[in-house]
Structure 1
Amino acid sequence: MKGQLEQKDIARFLKELRVTKGLTQQELADLLFCDIRQIRRYETNGTERLSVINLYASVFNISALGILTASAKGAFWFFIKAIGHFHSSRLIFKDGILFVS
C-alpha cells in the first residue's frame, strides 16, 4: 500500500508537468511516441519504470531526479525499489538522466 501512495504522488506530478506546459494528453503521447491510454495510466497510477521517468525528464527538460524528488517521498521509494530489482547493478545519474548499469 505504501508504494502505491508514492506512485500516486509521481502520477500527480507527471500530470502537473503536462498541464503546466499547456500540453494535452494527446500532444504528450505524440511526443513520447505512445498511446494516449498510456499517458492516462501514468497520470492515474504513476510509474516505477526508469525509462518512462527519463522520457518525461527529456520532454520537460528537467532531471529524472527532479521528477522523483518533486513527487514527495517518491524518490526514496523509487530508489529502494530500483535497488531491489537491480541489486547487482549500479544506478548512475549523469546529465539529468538516471542509468542502470
Structure 2
Amino acid sequence: MTEWKAVCQLADIPAQGARVLKREGKVDIAIFRTADDQLFALHDKCPHKGGPLSQGIVSGRSVACPLHNWHIDLATGQACAPDEGCTGHIALKQEAGTVFLVLD
C-alpha cells in the first residue's frame, strides 16, 4: 500500500520554480511547478556534478542545472540529450491544493 505524506501547499511553490524538502541524512527533494501548474518531484542533485536543481530555471517540462546548464526532464529525472544521467524522481500527487509525496 502506498503511503502519501502531505509536504506543502501548491501556493508554496512559485510558478516556474521549486521548493526544497530538506531530509536529514538523505538527498533533498526538489518539488517543481511549471507555468501550467504541473508538479514534479526530483532528487535535488544534478546527475552531472551534483548541482542543486531547485536553483535552476524551469522551462516547459525541464529544469536547467545552475552549474553547467544540463537540462533535466522533470517527469523522468533523465538528462536531455546529448547529456546522459538520471536523478531520482519521486511519486507526487496534488489534492485540493495540498501536495503529497511518497517518501521512504
| TM-score normalised by length of structure 1 | 0.30
Structure with the bigger percentage of strand: 2
| TM-score normalised by length of structure 2 | 0.29
